Amino acid sequence: MTNLKVSNLLILVGIILALPCQHQLCAQDTSPQVMSYSYGENKIKLEVDQEWIAVYLPEAEDGESVIHEILDLVDGGIPGRSIKELPYNHLYLAQVRHGESVSVLQRWNSSVAGWVAPVLYYNDRLHIPRPEILVTLSSYEPAVYQRFVESFGAEIVREFPSVRPLFVVKNPQPVDFELVIADLVDFPGVESASPNFIMRLGELIAPNDPGYTSQWHLNNTGQQGTLGVDISAEAAWSIQTGGADVIIAILDEGVDVGHEDLAPNIVTGHDSVSIQAAPGGIPGNCDTNDSHGTGCAGLAAARGNNGIGVSGVSWNAQIQPVRMGFGNHWTQNDWIIDAITWATDNGADVLSNSWGGGAPSTAESNTVDYALQTGRGGLGSILVFASGNESAGVSFPAAYSQTIAVGATSPCDEIKSISSCDGENFWGSNTGPQQTVVAPGVLMATTDIAGPGGMVAGDYVSGFNGTSSATPVVAGALAVILSQDPGLTAAQAQDILQSGADDQVGPAAQDPAGFDNNFGHGRVNLANMLALMGGPAAPVNLTCTETAVGVQISWTPGEVYDSLTIRRDGTLLSTLAGDATGFLDLNVPAGQHSWEIQGFVGATPSLARQCSLFLIGDARDLIWSPGTGTVDSGNIFGTNLVQAGRSAILTSNLQAFSDLDVFDRIWVMLGMFPNNHQITTEESAALVTYLTNGIGGKALYMEGGDTWFFDPQRPIHAEFAITGLSDGSTTDNLGEVTGALATGCDLSGLSLTYTGENTWVDRLAADPGASVVQSNLTPAYDVAVFRDNGGQLTLGVSYENGGLIDGVSTRQQLVDALLACMGGVLTAPTDLLCTVNGTSVAVSWTVTGAWDSVQIVVDGGTPQILAGDSTSASLGPLTVGSHTIEVSSVIGSEVSIPAACTIGISPAAPQGLSCSAAGADVLLSWANPSTYDSIEILRNSAVIATLPGGATSITDVDPGPGAQSYFVRGIIGGVDSPSASCGLFIPPSAVANLSCSINGDTANLAWTSSQTYDNVQISRNGIVIATLPGSAVSFQDTPGAGNHEWAVTAVLQSVSSSAILCSGTVLPVAPVNLSCSSAGNLVSLSWTNSQG
| Domain CATH for 237 | 3.40.50.200
Same structural domain, 594 and 629: no
Higher pLDDT, 503 or 645: 503
| Contact (Cβ atoms closer than 8 angstroms) between residue 152 and residue 133 | no
pLDDT tens figures, 800-856: 999 999 888 999 999 999 998 997 567 789 999 999 998 999 999 998 776 778 999
| Contact (Cβ atoms closer than 8 angstroms) between residue 1011 and residue 961 | yes
Same structural domain, 223 and 261: yes
Same structural domain, 111 and 166: yes
Confidence band for 967, pLDDT divided at 50, 70 and 90: very high
| Domain CATH for 641 | 3.40.50.880
| Contact (Cβ atoms closer than 8 angstroms) between residue 918 and residue 954 | no
444: containing domain: 210-500
CA distances from 513 to 30, 391, 420, 885 (A): 42, 22, 21, 30
Per-residue pLDDT, 1092: 65
What is the arithmetic mean of pLDDT over 391-413?
94
| Contact (Cβ atoms closer than 8 angstroms) between residue 33 and residue 48 | yes
**Of 336, 365, 668, 376, which Cα lies nearest the Cα of 493?**
376
Same structural domain, 307 and 447: yes
Q: Is the pLDDT of residue 434 over 50?
A: yes
d(CA 33, CA 24): 18
Residue 3 domain flag: no
d(CA 209, CA 438): 25
| Contact (Cβ atoms closer than 8 angstroms) between residue 145 and residue 156 | no
Confidence band for 24, pLDDT divided at 50, 70 and 90: very low
Residue 935 domain flag: yes
**Of 157, 168, 191, 173, which Cα lies nearest the Cα of 105?**
173
Q: Is the pLDDT of residue 28 over 60?
A: no
Per-residue pLDDT, 366: 95
Torsion angles phi and psi, residue 478, rounded to 5? -65, -35
Per-residue pLDDT, 541: 93
Within its chain, how far is the Cα of 569 from the centroid?
Answer: 10
Same structural domain, 605 and 630: no
| Contact (Cβ atoms closer than 8 angstroms) between residue 1092 and residue 1025 | no
| Contact (Cβ atoms closer than 8 angstroms) between residue 491 and residue 380 | yes
Q: What residues contact 939, with CB distance under 8 A and at least 6 apart? A: 956, 959, 964, 965, 966, 967
pLDDT tens figures, 524-579: 999 888 888 877 888 999 999 988 788 999 999 999 999 999 999 878 999 999 99
Q: Domain end: 800, 821, 842, which one? A: 821
Per-residue pLDDT, 979: 92
d(CA 1012, CA 524): 57
- The Cβ-side half-sphere exposure at 61, using a 13 Å CA radius, reads 0
| Domain CATH for 926 | 2.60.40.10
Residue 170 domain flag: yes
| Contact (Cβ atoms closer than 8 angstroms) between residue 971 and residue 933 | yes
**Of 692, 693, 720, which Cα lies nearest the Cα of 707?**
720
Neighbours of 39 (CB within 10 A): 19
Q: Which of the given ranges, 688-697, 712-721, 1061-1070, has the highest pLDDT on average?
A: 712-721
Same structural domain, 705 and 807: yes
Binning the chain into helix, strand and coil, the percentages to the nearest 5 are 15, 40, 45
Residues noted as catalytic: 252, 292, 468
Residue 521 domain flag: no
Q: Is the pLDDT of residue 1080 over 90?
A: no
What is the arithmetic mean of pLDDT over 944-960?
93
Residue 1006 domain flag: yes
What is the arithmetic mean of pLDDT over 52-67?
93
Same structural domain, 480 and 340: yes
pLDDT tens figures, 1031-1056: 999 999 999 888 999 999 999 888 88
Q: What is the DSSP letter of 805?
A: E
Same structural domain, 631 and 772: yes
Per-residue pLDDT, 367: 96
Domain count for the chain: 7
Q: Is the pLDDT of residue 9 over 70?
A: no
pLDDT tens figures, 245-299: 999 999 999 999 999 999 999 999 999 998 888 898 999 999 988 999 999 999 9
What is the arithmetic mean of pLDDT over 150-172?
93
Q: Domain end: 963, 986, 1009, which one? A: 986
Per-residue pLDDT, 11: 29
Confidence band for 22, pLDDT divided at 50, 70 and 90: very low
Same structural domain, 882 and 968: no
**Of 680, 676, 677, 651, which Cα lies nearest the Cα of 663?**
651
Q: Which helix (H) or strand (E) holds 74?
A: helix 63-75
Per-residue pLDDT, 824: 59
What is the arithmetic mean of pLDDT over 323-334?
90
Residue 529 domain flag: no
Q: Is the pLDDT of residue 494 over 70?
A: yes
Q: Is the pLDDT of residue 756 over 90?
A: no
Q: Which helix (H) or strand (E) holds 135?
A: strand 125-137
Higher pLDDT, 825 or 56: 56
pLDDT tens figures, 986-1032: 888 899 999 999 998 899 999 999 888 999 999 999 999 999 999 99
Same structural domain, 104 and 141: yes
d(CA 952, CA 945): 13
Per-residue pLDDT, 4: 29
Q: Is the pLDDT of residue 900 over 80?
A: yes
Same structural domain, 428 and 307: yes
CA distances from 265 to 244, 288, 354, 726, 749 (A): 8, 20, 19, 57, 71
d(CA 270, CA 264): 18
Task: Report the range of poorest mean pLDDT among 58-62, 337-341, 357-361, 612-616.
Answer: 612-616
Confidence band for 16, pLDDT divided at 50, 70 and 90: very low
pLDDT tens figures, 95-152: 999 889 999 998 887 778 899 999 999 988 999 999 999 999 999 999 999 999 999 9
Confidence band for 238, pLDDT divided at 50, 70 and 90: low
What is the arithmetic mean of pLDDT over 914-925?
91
| Contact (Cβ atoms closer than 8 angstroms) between residue 335 and residue 323 | no
Q: What residues contact 659, with CB distance under 8 A and at least 6 apart? A: 696
What is the arithmetic mean of pLDDT over 863-892?
90
Task: Report the range of poorest mean pLDDT among 3-12, 696-705, 742-751, 1071-1080.
Answer: 3-12
pLDDT tens figures, 110-120: 778 899 999 99
Residue type, 536: P
Residue 553 domain flag: yes
Per-residue pLDDT, 27: 36
Q: Domain end: 781, 799, 821, which one? A: 821
Per-residue pLDDT, 31: 36
Q: Is the pLDDT of residue 26 over 60?
A: no
Residue 375 domain flag: yes
d(CA 630, CA 672): 9
Same structural domain, 611 and 629: no
Per-residue pLDDT, 729: 61
The mean of the pLDDT values for the chain is 88
